[in-house]
Structure 1
Amino acid sequence: MPKAKKSGAGEAKESKTNTSLRLERKTLKALKVRAIEEDTSVQKIIEKLIEGYLKKAAKRES
């Protein structure tokens, strides 16, 4: 049985799923520019922000 491919964060590729969101055109453009400046991807920036938000919310609940 073939092993799951690893993503950049070391997670199995199958553990990720697709979603979509709607952003203002200027917001997405600024986000793309920022990603290029930081040599990263829009996906990684958004994922990092969401993870931080969820950790902060979990701390408030405990």
Structure 2
Amino acid sequence: MKASIIIPTRNRADQLSRTMKSLVELDFNTSEFEIIIVDNGSTDSTEHLSKEFINKYP
């Protein structure tokens, strides 16, 4: 692994969704980087969205 992308978030599910879609569309080998989502106690669907993304792109 060559890089880590760290995304801090709180109650920003809509922005997180757009960010994650943009990241998976990048022309990079997925073994070259990891994505770390740091959720600071969101009360919206941020956690659910993060889990969906993990299941779809392990």
| TM-score normalized with structure 1 length | 0.31
Give the structure, 1 or 2, with the largest relative contact order (CA under 8 Å, sep 6 or more): 2
Larger radius of gyration: 1
Give 1 or 2: higher helix fraction. Answer: 1
